[in-house]
Amino acid sequence: MGGVVSSGEDNDELIDNLKKVDYLRTPSVEKAFRSVDRGHYYLEEYQENAYCDMAWKQGNLHISAACIYAEVAERLMIQPGQSFLNIGSGTGYLSTVIGNLLGPFGVNHGIELHLDVVEYAKSKLKEYLIMYCNDEDIIDFCNPIFVHGNCFRINPSARRYDRIYVGAACPEESYDFFKQLLNINGYLIMPFNDKLIRVRRLDENNWECEEMLDVAFLPLIPASANDNDLPHIQMPACKPHSLRSLCRRTIRKALGKNILNKIKELDLPPTLKNYLCYNRNTRKDRIRTISGGSDLDRNESNGNDQLVK
């Protein structure tokens, strides 16, 4: 799957092209994809292919076609404050996009089999936060937390998620395993029998399933005999936000809005004013504004203050 939209010169053009063919339909999802540069997650020598609608794989690194991620994000129908599990989280690109939809009070977990890819994803997340989140910023973002391990070693009775994406083909014998990780009224999207399917959990014992797209994914790697001797993987615990962090967030938002209002009153060129308001780096002097604006806030994931220095 891929190649359904024209290539772009940069991330904005790729998003424009996805909109034209109706893969991006929701303003919040569009804004989330614009806020995360797909090219940032490619190795430097492969940057020229970053804005093509095609999958990319180099060693253990893998990114699916842009149209796949767009359709997944739209059909997951993510709401702020929900919990998300990315199985086969890879470079962390999709998890970072989803982090912009979950908001500061969501849960954003990824599990990845290859340790080198987990470290790559963590480094790219750190770079993303440094690039887009300066000390003055206020970001409504849910930091992804990447866990190393085989997804089949997750304990399905330990916790559930509102939204789940599986980034590799699910074998028939594992279909029920992934359904058990889902909260009631939650959505699971995964490749199954050469189709991208969406499963909704209706209650404890009933699910409904619909087909989305024809796809070709590499299969998930099953747990080995050695893995089965290890204890279950415990996904990170979710802790409530501290009163201090909630107060700090409210104060920063209030200060940020006042600063933005003062900047808007200045007699400055529109491009400079836009840059000051959103404090975003631009490519080739192209600045896009998305309806609804963007409040930026430092993420304090699960009550823990996480500041990138």
Q: Considering just the CA atoms, what is the radius of gyration of the chain in Å? A: 20
Residue 213 pairs in a beta bridge with 196
At how many degrees (to 10) do helices 93-102 and 27-34 cross?
130
Collapsed DSSP state (helix, strand, coil) of residue 203: coil
Alpha carbon 292 to its chain's center: 20
Both tokens of 225, joined, read: 């005999």
Between the alpha carbon of residue 32 and those of residues 28, 38, 73, 132, the distances in Å are 6, 11, 10, 13
Q: What angle do CA 91, 96, 101 make, to 5 degrees?
A: 150
Q: Verify whether residue 64 is a known catalytic residue.
A: yes
Neighbours of 276 (CB within 10 A): 14
Question: By the 8 A CB rule, do 208 and 188 touch?
Answer: no
Beta-carbon contacts of residue 160 (< 8 Å; ≥ 6 apart): 83, 180, 181, 182, 183, 186
Phi-psi region of 119 (alpha: psi -120 to 50; beta: other; left: phi over 0): alpha
DSSP-H helix ranges across 133-193: 175-179
Q: How far apart are the first and last CA of the chain?
A: 39
Question: Which residue of the set 7, 35, 64, 95 is catalytic?
Answer: 64
**Active-site positions?**
64
